[in-house]
Amino acid sequence: MVVPGSQHIEDKMYNPPAELQRDAHVPDFNSYLALYRKSLENPEGFWKEVADEFFWKKPATGPMLQYNFDMTKGNIYVKCMEGAKTNMCYNVLDRNVKERNLGEQVAYYWEGNSPDHHMAITYRQLLSQVCRCANVLKQMGVKKGDRVSIYLPMIPELVYTMLACARIGAVHSIVFAGFSSDSLCERIMDAQSRILVTADGVYRGEKLINLKQITDEALEKCREKASSTVTKCLVVKHHALRAKGGAACNKLQTPWDSECDVWWDEAMRDAPEECEPEWLDAEDPLFILYTSGSTGKPKGVLHTVAGYLLYTSLTFKYVFDHHHDDVYWCTADIGWITGHSYITYGPLANGATSVLFEGIPVHPHVGRFWEIIEKYKVTKFYTAPTAIRLLMKYGREPLQKYDLSSLRILGTVGEPINPEAWHWYYDVVGRGKCPVVDTFWQTETVNVLLCFVLANGKHLATFPFFGVEPTILNEHGEELEGEAEGYLVFRRPWPGIMRTVYRNQERFENTYFRKFPGFYVTGDGCRRDKDGYYWITGRIDDMLNVSGHLMSTAEVEAALTEHSAVAEAAVVSRPHKVKGECLYCFVTLKDHREFTHTLVEELKRLVREKIGPIATPDFIQNAPALPKTRSGKIMRRILRQVARNEKDLGDLSTLADPKVVEILFSQRCEAA
Ligand code: WT7
């Protein structure tokens, strides 16, 4: 999306302020190029140097990276530092406390939904809480390799639990606490988790959410579908202890099953503060994180210990140009990959001080983000275009009340940032003094792949991070040189790339490697300009990006067709001022069923229940029939054009019944 009058920023070169450049890890473009070349020409040496910063119980016997990206030559695999033994939790906590003398440094400033709730947690305190939690999990029978599902809001206990898992070699599977009980159930069943960790309830803005009730519904659904693998549910007393006015104001009824449920505070009370880390193989799993798949069933993206440690720590250091006096704040939720990599593991591996924020940008007032930046003197701020667009609506006034002069670098992630939002971020939030680092990556790639190069770059365009080798292919899989547009793919792995889809290697290979043998296929389109900069143009598959969250059309369609009145459904995206894209759904009803306002509301509710509030459709249109090819394939291109009211339809020769299109245009929804 290019806003008139803003094209000029596209090609303008950008130099950061001199004082930022002076101390930067990569001070200028030539030093970036030199390091980048080294990372490709001598990956062994490059990654060894990174690994040397960390603690290895046993050194590697194999090379830094081994792989096969070509399906025609055998199974796809990536291995990093085979033979090495280490522990993630030891490296991000014990190493900082014991070897780097950072015990008294603040790891997190936790800021609650209400500004009255906040606390500072030092590295030493974090280590002791994590060890106690690790001992609690062990007491509950959790062993190396077991999966632990975590359904928690943005509270310190979420960080304690994930690191406790990492400490004892359990595999965490965090489910964003805004997901529905159906989504939670599906993820618990796929991961076959033994333990579920949740909280009684949480305020999100003004809204009180009974997490324990949703959890119980999810467990009940698991039991209905199969025998549930979950034996214990550990429940953080968050709402009851931290609610405004304390326990007396507890407004929740917490359902309780004394066979299964255990209160967190009771279990933690007597747990010892020492816990020897489990020494894991470099390629042992660290976590599973579910992401949408084009078939509608979420994929359990699996990441492993050593490669994730190397890549997360390095990207954090360089992308945010981390220095020891920084206060860093990433506004994502840990339930998404951004939070895993850039709230927990990346910052901690670097001994950073971060803000951990439970709330939302507009509660109790629309200046909350700016208030928090002033309060903690945040220097590096990382958020999503959708948040910027939301806050833009309130103008400059809410910012002017606060001192934002501590800010040095602004980051963005999740979707292409439109020039209008970029300008506002740069001019208003950063007062023209802070570079905007645009970071492109995916759940699968775990960390930044392409990023704005701090030293000297173009606005809105990026260069590859160290160790990654992007290229652009056309439909026939031919590599395009120079200025070009096509499929964004990667020719070789980097340490942090996903290893497989949990319990489904076949799906892993088919999704990312079948289309173009020898390459990892991102699913995104991309343009390379005459100067070699990469511009992400957006998804080129059936995925949608709503407020920076990726979802598949298939999963929303599956939810809609569960309604007894719906015969068929097709979902496309339509541009949205704040969300970037929103869902526009076409439903064909069964005979004799009527398209009413009540039905529309029922369908919206169904999607919320099946997937979660983020997937709520903005538009639902009655479609007496869907445009199909003669072979019966839905022509989504046409539906997208109906949703956007674009009448220039181009070639319709493959369409079976052209009358359908006219009817759809005549009945399209104008407003939500
Ligand atoms: C998809 C991945 C990155 C972590 C959060 C989302 C889109 C992400 C950018 C960006 C343009 C972006 C891509 C990608 N995307 N960042 N900076 N510019 N597009 O993780 O849910 O796995 O989504 O988000 O389409 O493939 P995810």
To test ligand 1's pocket by mutation, which of 343, 550, 555 has the most ligand atoms within 8 angstroms of CB? 550
Give the model's pLDDT for residue 249.
Answer: 60
Residues with CB under 6 A from ligand 1: 291, 336-338, 413-416, 438-443, 522-524, 536, 539, 545, 549-550
* Model confidence at 650: pLDDT above 80: no
Protein residue closest via CA to atom 8 of ligand 1: 414
Given a cut of 80, is residue 596 above it in pLDDT?
A: yes
Q: Whose CA is nearest to atom 27 of ligand 1?
A: 442
- Degrees, nearest 5: CA angle 57-311-323: 95
Which of 1.25.40.340, 3.40.50.300, 3.30.300.30, 3.30.470.20 is the CATH number of 547-667?
3.30.300.30
Residue type, 466: F
pLDDT, tens only, 326-382: 999 999 999 999 999 999 999 999 999 999 999 999 999 999 999 999 999 999 999
User: Among candidates 363, 346, 366, which has minimal Cα distance to 354?
Assistant: 346
Question: What is residue 277's DSSP assignment?
Answer: P
Cis before 364? omega within 30: yes
Question: In terms of DSSP bridges, do strands 543-546 and 534-539 run parallel, antiparallel, or are they unpaired?
Answer: unpaired
Q: How confident is the model at residue 661 (pLDDT cuts 50, 70, 90)?
A: very high
Range of lowest pLDDT (81-90, 305-314, 489-498, 535-544)? 535-544
pLDDT bin (cut points 50, 70, 90) of residue 295 is low
pLDDT in tens, 48-69: 999 999 999 999 999 999 999 9
* Residue among 113, 59, 99 at smallest CA distance from 82: 59
In DSSP notation, 244-269 reads TTGGGG--------TTTEEEHHHHHH
CA of 549 to the centre of ligand 1 (A): 8
- Contact in structure between 617 and 584 (CB atoms under 8 Å): yes
Q: How far is the CA of 413 from the centre of ligand 1 (A)?
A: 7
Which residue's alpha carbon is nearest to atom 19 within ligand 1?
415
Mean of the per-residue pLDDT values of the chain = 91
Kindly give the number of the ligand 1 atom that is closest to the alpha carbon of 543. Answer: 25
Single-letter code of the amino acid located at 42: N
* Ligand 1 atom showing the smallest separation from residue 417 Cα: 18
Q: Look up the ipTM and state it.
A: 0.96
Query: CATH 3.40.50.980 residue ranges in the chain?
Result: 361-434
CB atoms within 10 A of CB 626: 20
CB proximity list for 191: less than 8 A, separation 6 or greater: 147, 149, 171, 173, 288, 300, 502
pLDDT of amino acid 456: 52
Measure 440 CA to ligand 1 centroid, in angstroms.
6
CA 545 – CA 330 distance, rounded (Å): 20
Q: Which H/E stretch holds residue 287?
A: strand 285-291
Bridge partners of 77?
68
Buried/exposed 267-286: b ≥16 CB within 10 Å, e otherwise:
bbeebeeebebbbbbbbbbb
Task: Select the more confidently predicted residue: 461 or 9.
Answer: 461
End-to-end CA distance of the chain: 21
Question: Hey, whose CA ends up nearest to atom 16 of ligand 1?
Answer: 414
Mutational test site, ligand 1, from 294, 425, 441, max ligand atoms within 8 Å of CB: 441
**Position 404, amino acid:** L
**Degrees, nearest 5: CA angle 506-508-514:** 80
Residue owning the nearest CA to atom 5 of ligand 1? 414
- 447/341 Cα distance (integer angstroms): 7
Ligand 1 mean position to 314 CA, how many Å? 19
Burial of 480 (0-12, 13-18, 19+ CB in 10 A): middle
Pocket test for ligand 1, best of 442, 459, 465 (most atoms within 8 A of CB): 442
Q: Per-residue pLDDT for 582 more than 80? A: yes
Higher local confidence (pLDDT), 419 or 104? 104
Query: 414 C-alpha to center of ligand 1: Å?
Result: 4
pLDDT at 505: 97
The pLDDT value recorded for residue 169 is: 98
Distances (CA, A) of 361 to 122, 153, 365, 597: 25, 15, 8, 32
Q: Which of 112-121, 149-158, 408-417 has the lowest mean pLDDT?
A: 408-417
Q: How far apart are CA 361 and CA 156, in angstroms?
A: 19
**CATH code that applies to domain 361-434:** 3.40.50.980
**For the residues 412-420, what does the mean pLDDT come to?**
84
- Listing DSSP states for 552-593 in one string gives EHHHHHHHHTTSTTEEEEEEEEEEETTTEEEEEEEEEEPTT-
Number of alpha carbons in the 13 Å side-chain half-sphere of residue 293:
17
Mean pLDDT of 494-499: 96
**The tokens 């326990």 sit on which residue?**
247
CA 349 – ligand 1 centroid, Å: 23
47 neighbors 467 (Cβ within 8 angstroms): yes
How far from chain centre, in Å, is Cα 326?
Answer: 23
Boundaries of CATH 3.30.300.30 in the chain? 547-667
Best residue among 288, 415, 446 to mutate for probing ligand 1's pocket (most ligand atoms within 8 Å of CB) is 415
DSSP per-residue codes, 403-414:
--TT--EEEEES
What is the 385 CA–ligand 1 centroid distance (Å)?
11
**CA 213 to centroid of ligand 1, rounded, Å:** 32
Q: Report yes or no on whether pTM surpasses 0.80.
A: yes
Strands (E), 362-418: 380-383, 409-413
